[in-house]
Structure 1
Amino acid sequence: MRILLVDDHEIVRRGLRQLLAEAWPEASFGTAGTVSAAREAMTREPWQLIVLDINLPEGSGLDLLAQARQLSPRVPVLVLSAYPEEEFAVRAFKLGAAGYLTKASVADEMLLAVQRVLAGGKYVSSALADHLAEALGSPRPESPHDTLSPRELEVLCKVATGSTIKEIAAALQLSDSTIATYRSRISEKLGLTSNVDLARYALQHNLVA
């Protein structure tokens, strides 16, 4: 079994590799810390599982998720992210993720998720399952950020953590003007103009940790 670990922090990649190697001693691993390195690994070698962070240098992890599903539609992608699952998991599943975990998850839950997706199933945490069940029973009123596209939501989260337009453009490999356009659309949809107001909104709605 070949597992590709995609995360921009080496310590996270090492920890995941050690955890999964103890559970699956026969597994071999590949690692990538950027979107371009992950894309190259996906096209160069076959994988049985991809563990993917959303927040990556050189582009968008959500875009990479969609590309992974196009390149290898039968390979499960397990998203492991610092972004809160309530707002990002559904978007990830719509793009083809087989499971979604936050980095606050315990090791046993990670192993259970890997086992589930390798068997062809889907994995959601018990907290997310409860949230989805509650939403189905009594749908919550749509929040303004529900109207944001996945890319707009990413930009909002980066603005909320203090990143400038130039820094966001570099991280997502887009032009400054493109990010400025996303920033303008976000302000229009949320009815907020300043970065302080956007950051406050993101914190109040648990969009950033």
Structure 2
Amino acid sequence: MTRLLLADDHAVVRKGLIQILREAGIDAEVHEVSDGHEALAALRETTFDAVLLDISMPGKGGIEVLKQMRARGDQPPVLVLSMHSEEAYALHLIRAGAAGYLSKESAPAQLAEAIKKVLQGKRYISPEVAELLADSLSQRQAGSDEADEDDRHRQLSSREFEVFLQLAQGLGPTEIGRAMNLSAKTIASHRSRILRKMRLRTNAELTLYASRHGLI
């Protein structure tokens, strides 16, 4: 039987997703976990055919879980679910190795289609994400060094983006370093590059930018 790992810190959301699976005729044994640490522990103990991963969970978030999975190699495909729109996170997560990205506000039929594709070993690219990927490719081919005002966060690397999100939530270098197994000095270096790339000066400006763009 197909085995799915469902990682989301809201029990109601997990039950709703399982119901969507059932109604779509997806016969799977679903293992539920509520945070990133539990997800990684489950992956060490059990072989899964796919992972449905919430991006925002206490402790280790979805981005860090995805990176640790990819670092181990030979891990199941991951469909990332989020309350945030595709514009906010999709490109970073696809580049980080996710098989697909979908907003939780998507219709049940779209979610069922995404899960089926991921289980088949395919990527799920929604029309919105496809457009973002096309725009990103066009910008690279054009050799543009300057991002639009609304797109500055997209030029960050996956690691820089993860640090940016935590800085924007008010966490300091020591806290972020502890969560990411990096030194505070390394986090401070990331912060400097992030501010320079985004043409911002302070953490407060990072927070304001993230809030305006629906990233926190």
Q: What is the rounded CA distance, in whole Å, between the counterparts of 1:93 and 1:195 in structure 2?
A: 26
Name the residue aligned to 2:112.
111
Q: What is the rounded CA distance, in whole Å, between the counterparts of 1:178 and 1:8 in structure 2?
A: 29
Q: What is the rounded CA distance, in whole Å, between the counterparts of 1:146 and 1:96 in structure 2?
A: 16
Question: Is the 1:158–1:168 contact (alpha carbons within 8 Å) kept by the matching residues of 2?
Answer: yes
Report the Cα offset of residue 202 of structure 1: 2.8
* Aligned mate of 1:155, from 158, 163, 175: 163
Assess, with a 3 A threshold, how the Cα gap between structure 1 residues 67 and 181 changes in structure 2: closer, same or farther.
same
Question: Is the 1:69–1:75 contact (alpha carbons within 8 Å) kept by the matching residues of 2?
Answer: no
TM-score, normalising length: structure 1: 0.80
Matches within 5 A, 1:14-163: 14-24=15-25, 26-71=27-72, 73=74, 75-137=76-138, 141=144, 142-143=146-147, 144-160=152-168, 162-163=169-170
Report the Cα offset of residue 80 of structure 1: 0.9
Q: Tell me the alpha carbon deviations over residues 77-107 of structure 1, each in whole angstroms, 9 at most, x when there is no partner.
A: 1111234423532222222211111222221
Structure 2: stretches of 5+ with no match in the other structure:
none
* Aligned mate of 1:164, from 143, 154, 171: 171
Name the residue aligned to 2:8.
7
Q: What is the rounded CA distance, in whole Å, between the counterparts of 1:37 and 1:150 in structure 2?
A: 23
Q: What is the rounded CA distance, in whole Å, between the counterparts of 1:114 and 1:138 in structure 2?
A: 30
Q: What secondary structure does 1:75 align onto? A: coil
Q: What secondary structure does 1:192 align onto? A: coil
Q: What is the rounded CA distance, in whole Å, between the counterparts of 2:86 and 2:34 in structure 1?
A: 22
Question: Is the 1:58–1:170 contact (alpha carbons within 8 Å) kept by the matching residues of 2?
Answer: no
Q: What secondary structure does 1:101 align onto? A: strand
Q: What is the rounded CA distance, in whole Å, between the counterparts of 2:12 and 2:187 in structure 1?
A: 30
Name the residue aligned to 1:202.
210
Give the length in aligned residue pairs. 207
Q: Return the letter of the residue paired with 1:43.
A: R
Assess, with a 3 A threshold, how the Cα gap between structure 1 residues 73 and 154 changes in structure 2: closer, same or farther.
same
Q: What is the rounded CA distance, in whole Å, between the counterparts of 2:15 and 2:178 in structure 1?
A: 26
CA RMSD of aligned residues (A): 3.0
What is the identity percentage for the equivalent residue pairs of Structure 1 and Structure 2?
A: 38
Within the alignment, does 1:190 sit opposite 2:198 as a pair? yes
Q: What is the rounded CA distance, in whole Å, between the counterparts of 2:82 and 2:178 in structure 1?
A: 20
Q: Return the letter of the residue paired with 1:67.
A: Q
Q: Return the letter of the residue paired with 2:52.
A: V
TM-score, normalising length: structure 2: 0.78
Q: What is the rounded CA distance, in whole Å, between the counterparts of 1:25 and 1:84 in structure 2?
A: 25
Assess, with a 3 A threshold, how the Cα gap between structure 1 residues 137 and 178 changes in structure 2: closer, same or farther.
closer
Assess, with a 3 A threshold, how the Cα gap between structure 1 residues 49 and 72 changes in structure 2: closer, same or farther.
farther
